[in-house]
Amino acid sequence: MTTPPKNTSGRGQRELRVKVKTAKGRKLSSTLWLERQLNDPYVQRAKREGYRGRAAFKIMELDDRYGFLKPGGRVVDLGCAPGGWCQVAVARVNALGQNPKKPVGTVLGVDLQEVEPIAGAVIHQLDFLSDEADEKVKTWLGGRADVVMSDMAAAASGHKGTDHLRIIALVEAALAFAFDVLEEDGTFVAKVLAGGAENEMNAMLKRNFRKVANVKPPSSRSDSSEKFVVAMGFRGRSDEEEAPEDEA
């Protein structure tokens, strides 16, 4: 189980907060972002534990709750850069075979940009929207995936409504990809931004998965509109209206 970072404060000690001065030529927004990063306990913990970013704890917390990263599982991480989700998946599906008593899994990461190698994962530079991308992924996996996951976000425009629509479109594209590569009873996990346009996407998920949950893990910043959808029990693309198990 992943545990949240602890802030130490109390009698005889105090919590130290790093203050960053706005340098000449640097925007105030950049200074505030840097200050937040330096004081974020999850950023600090990621550095200590060797993860490539604080996002690693989000997938840990989601898996702690729903248990979709199983030893022996085949996992596809869409838009995997910088690689934190792959790192977590490698350990949890036993991709390095470090536990000889459990089956060895496979972690496949794809991204538009080149990604530094990750022990236990196979990384490909690929646009998952391109023709034949799904067939390439199934070939590389040697079959279908048990989990398709995505922490992708479209480039921010600065307009909240536009950014919401862009990420929903990206999630829907990732979902269409998952329909093509997921094994029966597989799981789809993706980041979304709350904003109202996700209703159609949720309806599609509920038609095609037996259980759909929308959740904000503890490591997701409270001031962020991000949340994650976890859809489990893939039953194939269907127009049937069998009611799924819902979880808020």
Residues 62 and 31 in one domain: no
Please indicate if the annotation marks 127 as binding a ligand.
yes
Residue 152 and residue 188 in one domain: yes
Task: Give domain status of residue 87, yes or no.
Answer: yes
Of the candidates 127, 105, 128, 108, the one whose C-alpha atom is nearest the C-alpha of residue 118 is: 108
Q: What integer pLDDT is reported at residue 237 of this predicted model?
A: 61
Same domain, residue pair 138 and 194? yes
Whether 81 maps to a domain, the answer reads yes
Q: What is the pLDDT of residue 161?
A: 67
34, 78: one domain: no
Closest listed residue to residue 106, CA positions, set 90, 84, 87:
90
- Is 109 annotated for ligand binding? no
Do 137 and 171 lie in a common domain?
A: yes
Do 119 and 45 lie in one domain? The reply is: no
Active site residues: 191
* Closest CA relative to residue 189, chosen from 237, 146, 220: 146
Q: Is residue 146 part of a domain?
A: yes
95 and 208: one domain? yes
Give the number of domains in the chain.
Answer: 2
Residues 41 and 121 placed together within one structural domain of the fold: no
Distance CA 79, CA 115 (A): 10
**Beta-carbon contacts of residue 214 (< 8 Å; ≥ 6 apart):** 192, 202, 227, 228, 229, 230, 247, 248
83 marked as part of a ligand binding site: yes
Question: Domain residues for 24?
Answer: 20-49
Whether the CB-CB separation of 55 and 151 falls below 8 Å is answered with: yes
* 10-residue mean pLDDT series, the chain (248 residues): 53 42 50 50 83 93 98 98 97 98 98 96 97 96 97 72 81 95 97 79 93 94 88 77 52
Q: Do the domain assignments include residue 8?
A: no
Q: Is 2 in a helix, a strand, or coil?
A: coil
Q: Is 33 annotated as a binding residue?
A: no
Residue carrying the six token digits 């819902």: 246
CB neighbours of residue 206 within 10 Å: 18
